[in-house]
Amino acid sequence: MRLASNIFKLKHHRPRMMFDTIFFLSGDSYPLTPHIEPALFNRLGSLASRLIGQGELLHLTQADSFNADIEHRLAMLDRVLPAGEGARRTILIGRSSGARVATLFAARREVAAVICLGYPFREPNRQLDTGRFVHLAQTRTPTLILQGVEDAYGGIDLTENYPLSPSVRVRFLNGQHELHLSPKDWDAAAERIGAFCRSVAEGQPADQDPFDEGFYLRRHQDVADAVAKGDFISGEDHFLKHGSRERRIFRLTPGINP
C-alpha cells in the first residue's frame, strides 16, 4: 500500500514541461527539406509536451496538400492554435517563409515566443519588399532569429539593414539559408534555442551574439563623443539604454559556437 501511494505521488508530482506545444512551420520548399524538422525535434523534446511538425499540422487541418500562401497558412494555424493560457505555453518555430508566418501570427495573436531559422528578409536579386520584415520592428513577442552568416536572404549584415524590435534576439549559425549543418552545429543551435526558451519561461531577457562596439561608435559619432565624455560606459551601454529604442543601426559579431 505504501509503495502504491509513493507511485501515485511520483505520477502526480512530475515536473511540468516549460511549454505545452511547439509547432514547426516549414518553408516554401516543403517537403524537399526533410532534414531540418527531425534535426530539431530530436534535440528539443525536453522543452514541450508535444512537438507538431508541418505534416501533422496539415493532418490536423485536413489539408490535402501544402499551400505556401502566407494568408492561407496563417488561417490554418489560427484554427489549431489554442487560446488563453494554452497560447501562452505555445512556441512557434518557423523555417524561411514559415518564419514569416510565425512572426506575422504573433503580431495578431498571443504566443509564448517565436524562433526563426533563416528568416527571409529579402529575395536574392529582387526588389526589396518591406512587407517581409516591417513588423519585426514592432513585435513584442520574444523572438529568436537564428541566421546563417552567409544566408542570401539576409546574412551577417541583417542588423544594419533591417530594423528590429528590442524583443528580437539574433544569433548567427555557421551556414547558409539551406541550413545543411553538421550534427555538432545542430547541437549548438538546439542549445541556443533551449537557452532562449528558458529565458522566456523565467521572464528574463535572452542573450545574443556579441555587440560590435567599434562599428556602433564609428556609425554614431554622437555616441562616440558621449562615451569619450564618460556619459556612457560603452557604445553597447548606450544601445541598451537608448539606442535600441531609437532604432539605431548596430552590428553583431558572430559567436558561432555557443
The string of pLDDT tens digits covering residues 201-236 is 999 888 888 889 999 999 999 999 999 999 999 999
What are the phi and psi torsion angles at 189 (to 5°)?
-65, -45
- Residue 94: beta bridge partners? 25, 116
pTM beyond 0.95: the answer is no
- Residue 169: beta bridge partners? 144
What are the phi and psi torsion angles at 165 (to 5°)?
-65, 155
Class at the top of the CATH hierarchy for domain 2-209: alpha beta
Indicate the angle between helix axes 183-202 and 36-44, nearest 10 degrees. 50
Cell numbers linked to 67: 499551400
Interatomic CA distance for residues 216 and 160, integer angstroms: 10
The string of pLDDT tens digits covering residues 155-207 is 988 888 888 888 999 999 888 999 999 999 999 999 999 999 999 999 988 88
CATH 3.40.50.1820 in the chain: give the residue spans.
Answer: 2-209
The string of pLDDT tens digits covering residues 230-257 is 999 999 999 989 998 888 888 888 765 4
Asked whether 65 and 30 are in contact (CB, 8 A), the reply is: no
